[in-house]
Amino acid sequence: MKIAYLDCFSGVSGDMCLGALVDAGVPVDAIREALRRLPFSGYALEAEKVTRAGIAATHVRITLDQSPHPEHRRLSDVLESIRAGKLPKAVQEKACQVFRNLAEAEALVHDSDPESVRFHEVGAVDAICDVVGMVAALEWLGIQELLFSTISLGGGSVRTAEGMLPVPAPATAELLRGLPTAGGPVEFELATPTGAALLKTLGRPSPRWPAMRVERIGYGAGSREVPGMPNVLRVAVGEAGSGAETESDLVWTLEVNLDDMTAEEIGFCTERLRESGALDAFTTPIQMKKGRPAVKLTVLCAPGELEAMERALWRHSTTLGIRRSLWQRSKLRRRSETVPTPWGKVRVKLAYLGEELLRCEPEYEDCRRLAEREGLPLREVYRAARSAWEHSP
């Protein structure tokens, strides 16, 4: 699987993302070709080699001519521009989702709805070019998964169309909820709203450099020259695995102790957590103060689901506090296939340690559906699904 890893030790922005991918080998003309499909003009995309604290990098910038450009754009205006560009479907959908996420973050900050948000910096032509160009560049490289490190935010304040705002800017902070971040190491903005939206929409966090066979490395330059610090975004592109037998990711673990809920209420809460996107939710018997019997409810979730999980716990449990910790998880590589049985199709999950197949498990919900419909024992459907996979060509 072809992956890209963004090392955000000096933050992230749209132009840094583009510069890193160009530096890693994406032709500037391939990006220009994607942007030419958009229904506006009056801009130019330029890429030049620069150095930042002694590291050679590519600086990409969008320059506008003197023709009039809309001062503000609504979400519908931005989406209409992207859809009118006749871009490949995957590029169009991902670019539109980046701006939807931006609009939702701005709406939360201003207590409004996404469509009423008026984009300033992020709605300008250069931001649309950054987003569409980034997605098109990833498609050109054939990237199947984008990973990123802890994001350096910077500090101090930043001047915007709305005045001076603290770093991270409010929209950036909303976009990065649940993702690994760190303040500093300088007193100005390192992570922009556009950069944060690109990471939130297109990638997932990885606490360490992933197991991969590196094929390309690129550096995208930020606009500032910072003494003693390379103001660059590094990207590594290559094949995942490269000898690693397992995969890894990050998960939040949430825990609450409950001694004043009935078993039915706890079961209801657990069901709501799974419906809200929990990877797992389970209980463990415990004893609390004065020997009171209780249960510990544990929830596992992906970084992007943290807020939804906590909201579900507040609403459906009696807890007054939630313990949470971020864990790195090792996983067997998995893939899914569909096999025929005498009563219908069943999905089976295959788990691998490196290239060795360890397990083949039929999907429970598929087997249950067929067993209920046909009046069969569940184990009979399981057996038929496993046999079908074992005898498949």
Q: What is the pLDDT of residues 336-369, one digit of tens each?
A: 999 999 999 999 999 988 788 898 999 999 999 9
219 and 251 within one domain: no
pLDDT, position 67: 63
Number of Cβ atoms within 10 Å of the Cβ of 235: 28
* The pLDDT of residue 68: 60
- First and final CA of the chain: distance in angstroms? 24
Q: Which of 57-61, 149-153, 244-248, 326-330 has the lowest mean pLDDT?
A: 244-248
What is the model's pLDDT at position 70?
A: 58
Paired tokens of 217: 């490395």
205 and 56 belong to one structural domain: yes
Q: How far apart are CA 252 and CA 304, in angstroms?
A: 9
Confidence of residue 332 (pLDDT cuts 50, 70, 90): confident
Q: Is the peptide bond before 185 cis (omega within 30 degrees of 0)?
A: yes
181 with 169: CB under 8 angstroms? no
* 114's tokens: 């996404």
Residues 97 and 213 in one domain: yes
pLDDT band at 331 (very low <50, low <70, confident <90, very high): confident
* 275 in the same domain as 228: no
Round to whole Å and give the CA distance between 326 and 300. Answer: 10
* Confidence check: pLDDT of 249 > 80: no
Task: Verify cis geometry, omega within 30 degrees of 0, for the bond prior to 168.
Answer: yes
Q: Name which residue leads in pLDDT, 256 or 391.
A: 256
- Mean pLDDT of the region 279-293: 93
Given this model, what pLDDT does residue 74 score?
85
We report the CATH number of the domain holding residue 314 as 3.30.70.1380
Amino acid identity for residue 18 in this structure = L
pLDDT tier, 56 (very low <50, low <70, confident <90, very high otherwise): very high
Q: How far is CA 24 from CA 14, 27, 133, 138, 269, in A?
A: 16, 9, 14, 11, 47
Residue entry with tokens 């990409």: 60
- The answer on 293 and 175 residing in a single domain is no
Q: Looking at residue 333, what is its pLDDT? A: 84
pLDDT for position 231 = 96
Q: In the structure, how many helices (H) and strands (E) does the chain have?
A: 11, 20
Average pLDDT, the chain: 91
Number of structural domains the chain divides into: 3
Output the pLDDT for position 117. 79
Q: Could you say which of 240, 264, 293 is where a domain stops?
A: 240
Same domain, 167 and 201: yes
Do 316 and 346 fall into the same domain?
no
Judge if 180 and 289 occupy the same domain.
Answer: no
pLDDT for residue 330 is more than 90: no
Q: Where residue 328 falls among pLDDT bands split at 50, 70, 90? A: confident
What average pLDDT score do residues 236-252 get? 77
Provide the pLDDT for residue 160: 81
Same domain, 87 and 208: yes
Rounded to an integer, what distance in angstroms lies between the CA atom of residue 45 and that of residue 168? 27
Domain boundary (299, 316, 331) is at: 331
pLDDT tens profile 167-185: 999 999 999 998 999 998 8
> 111-126: per-residue pLDDT in tens?
888 888 777 655 578 8
Domain that holds residue 211: 2-240
Greater confidence, 109 or 18?
A: 18
Structure tokens at 190: 């390192």
In this structure, of 39-53, 147-161, 171-185, 322-336, the range with the lowest mean pLDDT score is 322-336
* pLDDT value of residue 28: 96
List the CATH number of the domain containing 354. Answer: 3.10.20.300
pLDDT at 248 > cutoff 90: no
CA 13 to chain centre: 15
Examine the fold and report which residue of 209, 240, 271 is the final residue of a domain before the chain moves on: 240
Q: Decide if pLDDT at 242 tops 90.
A: no
Share of the chain above pLDDT 90, in %: 69
Q: Are residues 294 and 362 in the same domain?
A: no
Residues 6+ apart with CB under 8 A from 383: none
Name the token pair of 62.
């969008």
209 and 195, same domain (yes or no):
yes
Instruction: Pick the more confident residue, 120 or 136.
Output: 136
Residues 313 and 376 in one domain: no
Strand boundaries in the chain, DSSP class E: 2-7, 43-52, 55-64, 73-74, 118-119, 145-148, 151-152, 157-160, 163-166, 181-182, 203-205, 212-221, 232-240, 247-258, 280-287, 293-301, 323-331, 333-341, 344-353, 356-362
pLDDT at 42: 81
| pLDDT one-digit tens code per residue, 175-230 | 999 899 999 889 999 999 999 999 999 999 987 888 888 999 999 999 999 888 99
Q: Decide if pLDDT at 80 tops 80.
A: yes
65-79: pLDDT as tens digits: 766 655 667 889 899
